[in-house]
Structure 1
Amino acid sequence: MARSDDPGLQVERTTLAWIRTAMSFAVVSLLLIRASRPETVVVAVVLALAGLAASLGLGLVQRARHRGRVTDFNHSDPVHGPRAVAVGTGLTVLLAFAALWCVWS
């Protein structure tokens, strides 16, 4: 297997991208409260808290996986996280539908 000439940078970029994704998810969750109608604000707050919890969980999981990626990077193929991508995509779609419901209901 080919070794990287600059080990760790790909892993760093991946980890930073996941952290940005988690932070963006948190910001959009909070914006959900502001964009909601007065009659759906309670639901928006609950959804925003769930979004913040999901964002925190996503960030913590990616932080923990970072060490494994750094270790595995030069020993084997980089670790891909299809489950993490699927969960992140699913959470994003759910947040989008929740935001649409709060704004348009």
Structure 2
Amino acid sequence: MAQRPDGPWDPGLQIERTTLAWLRTTLAFIIGLLVLLRLMGHVNVLAALVCAALALPLGLTIGWLLWRRHLDGERRLRERAPLPGGALPAAVTALAVVAGCSGLAFVLFA
């Protein structure tokens, strides 16, 4: 019979599912922005470059925050400490705002 983990769940699965959900959300935003930038480049190259300069570094920062949150969450879960704070949700919110403003710029400049 399999050994039951100490607690009501496997400590790694919750963090892994959460990490994968954040990764899917971030990738969806980045792919959407890349498509929008491709369309915007035909209308106004300067606006497309400004949006790309804001969005792509923010996407890389979110990837780094995601990885750091995953490792920190696993460690804290094993130590039974409070889980990580809200830097990742704030960064994804900023990416969503950049995506929305990019879409608005595309509509206004098109």
Partner of residue 23, structure 1: 27
User: 1:31 is matched by which residue type in structure 2?
Assistant: V
Displacement of 1:90 after TM fit?
A: 2.5
Question: Within the alignment, does 1:84 sit opposite 2:88 as a pair?
Answer: yes
Q: Given that residues 54 and 98 in structure 2 are in contact (C-alpha distance below 8 angstroms), is that contact kept between their aligned partners in structure 1?
A: no
* 1:59-98 equivalences in 2 (<5 Å): 59-77=63-81, 79-98=83-102
Please list every run of at least 4 consecutive aligned residues from structure 1 whose deviation after the TM superposition is greater than 4 angstroms: none
Displacement of 1:78 after TM fit?
A: 5.0
Structure with larger RCO (C-alpha < 8 A, sep 6+): 1
Gaps of at least 5 residues in structure 1 are none
Displacement of 1:77 after TM fit?
A: 4.8
Q: TM-score, normalised on structure 1?
A: 0.80
Displacement of 1:59 after TM fit?
A: 0.6
Q: TM-score, normalised on structure 2?
A: 0.77
Which is greater in Rg?
2
Question: Within the alignment, does 1:7 sit opposite 2:40 as a pair?
Answer: no
Identity of aligned residues (%): 34
